[in-house]
Structure 1
Amino acid sequence: MTERLSAQLDHVAVAVPDWEIAQRRWCDQLGGGIVAWGDSGVFASRQLRFANGTKLELLRPASNDPGNFVRRFLARFGSVVHHVTFKVADLGAALDVVRAGGLDVVDVDTSGSVWHEGFLRPSQVGGLVVQVAWSGATDQEWAASIGHAPEPPAPGAAELLGPTLRHPDLECARAVWTLLGAMITEEDGALRCRWPDSHLDVVIEPGEPAGPVALRMRGTPSLPAVDGTGPAVTGH
């Protein structure tokens, strides 16, 4: 039997061109509290926490270089789900499991003292970037390192449940996400992927083209996709 990844689904990330516009939806309207931010010089990020403790990362290009990967992504796809991040205790061992299961690993970076990462090809996962990472700092330690006190979600904030994806071959999707450690059930013709110790899950519906469709949230009505703001929100 193929070994499965032991990981926690930590957060989902959305590419946006501008903080102010995006935060009107995710903070002002849906109540996310900013828990941390960063700027690599290539991309800048802000992580928001919602009522059930789940996190959404807003990913913005930090340079005007047209070759910037976030800028290229926005030009091709718009403001949609960019990636999901799994956190693991040992990155090397985790990537060995993924490779043994037949998936390629690219852009591995272990140069940092508190963050190591590798990525899976979207073409093999179903149109979604998957980041596998080891972190040597807790969320609280990250926030302290930038002098920021994490903001709690606003009163009445929504709960972020996770992304909905589309895939033309659910059995292929089942094999991939099982390798990624998911416990999978079938619900209304779709696959629901869950992980221990994570409030985020992934729902995969049959259809084409493969890729992210929406974010599911509880405590809000459904909202349309708005370019510059993010993907559609399916309310529950």
Structure 2
Amino acid sequence: MTHDTPIRVEHVGIAVEEFEEAEAVLHALGARQYVDDTGPNDDFRWAGYLLGDASRLELVTPLSDDNFIRDFLDRHGPGLHHVTLEVENMDAVIAALEAADVTVVDRAQHETYEEAFVSPANPTGALFQLMRYREGYVEKYDSPDTYVNGMAVANAFDDRN
């Protein structure tokens, strides 16, 4: 089974212990921060960065000792944490994954987006975050190159040089 829904790599998430030191590396690469926030339970910090014209990276770091980022860092150390895929139709993508015997976990609805995760116990070994944005996300996070319900939203940084 496959799906016909638009899908793209939205960003790559990197788990870090030393946020400012990691951010300095991204700045040296030419990345520019466009958002700095905390997770839904304020137990981790995440910041998004634009790199070049279309690429995005995200740094995530724990703000408490009892959360999934802390667990990841304790097991693996800093490094690639997840790949986020922006999808137009969450149900279609999940159905295709489940038909391929791939486990999807932790589906959640949030105010301006919905998400689900593909367990890293899949043949790629990668944790994939599936994300579908809703109205209000762009305004809340001043997020460039975002799609809402499959429709491109105007780039918030068109005036950059």
TM-score (norm 2): 0.79
Partner of 2:88: 89
Report if aligned partners of 2:112, 2:137 keep a CA contact under 8 Å in 1.
no
Q: CA deviation at 1:44?
A: 1.1
Gap runs ≥5 in structure 1: 156-236
Sequence identity of aligned pairs in percent?
27
CA distance in structure 2 between the partners assigned to 1:139 and 1:18 by the alignment = 28
Partner of 1:104: 103
Report if aligned partners of 1:33, 1:151 keep a CA contact under 8 Å in 2.
no
User: CA 1:36 to 1:90, structure 2 compared with 1: closer, same or farther past 3 Å?
Assistant: same
Instruction: Map Cα deviations across residues 72-110 of structure 1 (whole Å, 9 max, x no partner).
Output: 111111111000011111222221121112211111112
Larger radius of gyration: 1
Instruction: Map Cα deviations across residues 85-144 of structure 1 (whole Å, 9 max, x no partner).
Output: 11111222221121112211111112x121111111112142211111111157742334
Specify which structure has the bigger relative contact order, considering alpha-carbon pairs within 8 angstroms and separated by 6 or more residues. Answer: 1
Partner of 1:15: 15
User: CA 1:90 to 1:4, structure 2 compared with 1: closer, same or farther past 3 Å?
Assistant: closer
- Residue identity in the other structure for 1:9: V
CA distance in structure 2 between the partners assigned to 1:103 and 1:135 by the alignment = 23
CA distance in structure 1 between the partners assigned to 2:135 and 2:55 by the alignment = 18
Which portions of structure 1, spanning 4 or more consecutive aligned residues, are displaced by more than 6 angstroms? none
TM-score (norm 1): 0.56
Partner of 2:59: 58
- Residue identity in the other structure for 1:43: F
SS at match of 2:121: helix
CA RMSD of aligned residues (A): 2.4
Gap runs ≥5 in structure 2: 144-155
Partner of 1:120: 118
Q: CA deviation at 1:49?
A: 0.4
Count residues in correspondence.
145
